[in-house]
Amino acid sequence: MINVTPVILCGGSGSRLWPLSRTGFPKQFLSLTGDDSLFQQVTKRIKSLGTAEINIANPLVVTGEDHRFLVVEQLREINNRAGVAILEPEARNTAPALTLAAISSLEDGVDSVLIVIPSDQIISNQIDYNSTLSKAIAVANEGGIIILGVEPESPEAGYGYIQTKIEIGDHEEKGVHSVLRFVEKPDILTAQKYIDQGGFFWNAGIFVLKASTWIKALKVFNPVILKNCFAAWENRTQDEYLKTFFIRPGRKEYSAIDAISIDYAVMEHCPGSEIPMYMIPLNAGWSDLGSWDSVWSYLDKDSSGNASIGDVIVSDTNNTLIHASSRLVSLLGVDDLIVVENSDAVLIANKKKSQDVKILVDKLKARNRREYAIHRKVFRPWGWFDNLEESEKFKVKHILVKPKSAISLQKHEFRSEHWIVVKGIAEVTNGNKIFQIKENESTYIPIGQIHRLKNIGDVDLEIIEVQTGTYLGEDDIIRIEDTYGRVQA
């Protein structure tokens, strides 16, 4: 039996899918093509690989500190869990992330085959996906590095390319091709030349290799990253939430690591080296949904080429993507557009410019606009809050607390709060008093008062919170006790 550990890379902000994808809730956690998020879809896909010959372990997820509860909650929704979630103190690209995953895997004493998968891709053909990965696992178990490639459908500047040997050899007869070189995101004319020449594939970003093989490759091609990752691992801390172990590498040591991708750190150096490397074609309806144009390409369309989600009405409109989240969106007499409506922002773009949405996000960030990073509705491990209205002196929130969950025991330096229960029963800690309030009842939390809101019922608790004060930022929270490990020592 071959032991396999899925390594799901769950970082990145997906800024090209703004305004739905943001730093606080990036695209991998969005449901863009169905009921499940992209992260949930990849987790389900990889779990189905298990056979009598292949033992699939719980996924090892590499993500950021701010997304740890999103990972656990979305896995809980599909009756799954991560064995380990490695929480990067700050983003360092994919090579350090994979290195930590390999170190973690080897620490258990089992040299597992790692399937390294981005969390933001879609696959439409599960049968071919399983068949391809099963073949890759068998080859990787012999000590090689496998990368999956997708036969190009058109010249694309947004993908990296893999050039393979066209001649037939022992491996090629089994659909496993030797890799000649990697090419990072060429221009359109160069991409067309690759397609005309043949032997080039899109880099799907899915790697299959033993943990020891990755460590060996780093020793050859990038020993500094390996040294620094070991140092960060030695200074890690660990805690547990809902049977998922959160591992935090040493912040100081991890911050010293260069941000570098798997491709640049190792893969592009492998062809012709002592590290055997192969490409296996993936014919499974792959897409990385890297832009709104790719989302439009994947979705079902009407007779005029329009793809729509939400409350949408169109007339005399063609080849357009319309995504409505919170209200009716109507289009008349337009073509080739991307229209994405959210509760606090609207994007309207030429479909050919969808790769450039990041430019708008950079401008929002430069102007210190919160819309580049967080939504109006913000998720927390206990539930969520939606900022309904805000001015200089007051803020109104709709807050939902899940059954048997509670916010932290906390206080504020600059604001007071009024709570009105609109659904459920709340247990309130207000200073030295603990009491219950029901629907249509309320309480007042003065500035500086220690307080907590807890849902003691079996249904969602919903309240309206009105804040007043001289400063209403989310960082005005002094946590005293917290179920979710958010109190700093």
Report the CATH number at residue 409: 2.60.120.10
* Mean pLDDT, rounded, for 213-220: 95
396 and 335, same structural domain?
Answer: no
Residue 327 belongs to some domain of the structure:
yes
Q: What pLDDT is stored for residue 310 in this prediction?
A: 94
- In the sheet with 346-350, reading across from the earlier edge strand, the strands are 307-309, 321-324, 337-341, 346-350
- CB–CB of 375/342 below 8 Å? yes
- CB–CB of 9/47 below 8 Å? no
pLDDT over threshold 70, residue 281:
yes
Domain boundary among 251, 281, 311: 281
Q: Which tens digit of pLDDT belongs to each residue from 154-204?
A: 888 888 999 998 654 455 556 889 899 988 888 899 999 999 998 999 999
Q: What pLDDT is stored for residue 50 in this prediction?
A: 84
Q: What pLDDT is stored for residue 167 in this prediction?
A: 54
312 and 243, same structural domain?
Answer: no
What separation in angstroms does the CA of 57 have from each of 41, 95, 160, 333? 17, 22, 30, 52
Helix intervals (H) in 320-464: 357-366
461 and 315, same structural domain?
Answer: no
Q: What angle do CA 256, 257, 258 make, to 5 degrees?
A: 120
pLDDT over threshold 70, residue 12:
yes
Q: Which tens digit of pLDDT belongs to each residue from 438-488?
A: 999 999 999 999 999 999 999 999 999 999 999 999 889 999 998 887 775
Helices (H) and strands (E) in the chain, counts: 11, 29
Residue 416 belongs to some domain of the structure:
yes
- CB–CB of 28/38 below 8 Å? yes
Six token digits for residue 294: 């790719």
Which of 76, 92, 121, 86 lies closest to 5, judged by CA?
86
165 and 52, same structural domain?
Answer: yes
> At 102, is the secondary structure helix, strand, or coil?
helix
Residue 290 belongs to some domain of the structure:
no
Q: What pLDDT is stored for residue 440 in this prediction?
A: 95
Gap between the Cα atoms of 34 and 292, Å rounded: 16
CA atoms within 13 A on the CB side of 397: 22
Tell how far CA 198 is from the center of its chain.
33
Residue 83: what residue type? G
Residue 287 belongs to some domain of the structure:
no
Gap between the Cα atoms of 135 and 278, Å rounded: 11
- Here the CATH number for the domain that contains residue 178 is 3.90.550.10
Q: What angle do CA 35, 349, 375 make, to 5 degrees?
A: 50
Residue 123 belongs to some domain of the structure:
yes
> At 467, is the secondary structure helix, strand, or coil?
strand
255 and 334, same structural domain?
Answer: no
360 and 315, same structural domain?
Answer: yes
Residue 292 belongs to some domain of the structure:
no
192 and 82, same structural domain?
Answer: yes
Domain boundary among 365, 387, 415: 365
pLDDT over threshold 60, residue 87:
yes
- CB–CB of 341/323 below 8 Å? yes
Residue 291 belongs to some domain of the structure:
no
247 and 130, same structural domain?
Answer: yes
pLDDT over threshold 80, residue 293:
yes
Q: What angle do CA 160, 165, 167 make, to 5 degrees?
A: 155
Residue 7 burial (CB count, 10 A): 28
Domain boundary among 281, 311, 328: 281
The reported pTM is 0.88
Crossing angle of helices 38-47 and 68-77, rounded to 10°: 60
Q: What DSSP character marks residue 167?
A: S
31 and 118, same structural domain?
Answer: yes
Residue 346 burial (CB count, 10 A): 14
pLDDT over threshold 70, residue 20:
yes
Terminal Cα-to-Cα distance of the chain (whole angstroms): 44
- CB–CB of 177/171 below 8 Å? yes
Provide the number of structural domains found in the chain.
Answer: 3
Q: Which tens digit of pLDDT belongs to each residue from 334-363?
A: 999 999 999 999 999 999 999 899 999 999
113 and 30, same structural domain?
Answer: yes
387 and 361, same structural domain?
Answer: no
Residue 370 belongs to some domain of the structure:
no
> At 114, is the secondary structure helix, strand, or coil?
strand
Cα Rg, the chain, nearest whole Å: 25
Residue 224 burial (CB count, 10 A): 12
Q: Which tens digit of pLDDT belongs to each residue from 373-423?
A: 989 998 888 999 999 999 989 999 999 999 999 999 999 999 999 999 999
Residue span of the structural domain in which 459 resides: 377-481
What separation in angstroms does the CA of 173 have from each of 78, 161, 179? 39, 22, 15
Q: What pLDDT is stored for residue 166 in this prediction?
A: 61
How high does pLDDT run on average in the chain?
91
* Mean pLDDT, rounded, for 135-143: 93
- CB–CB of 314/331 below 8 Å? yes
157 and 97, same structural domain?
Answer: yes
Residue linked to tokens 């987790």: 43
Q: What pLDDT is stored for residue 174 in this prediction?
A: 63
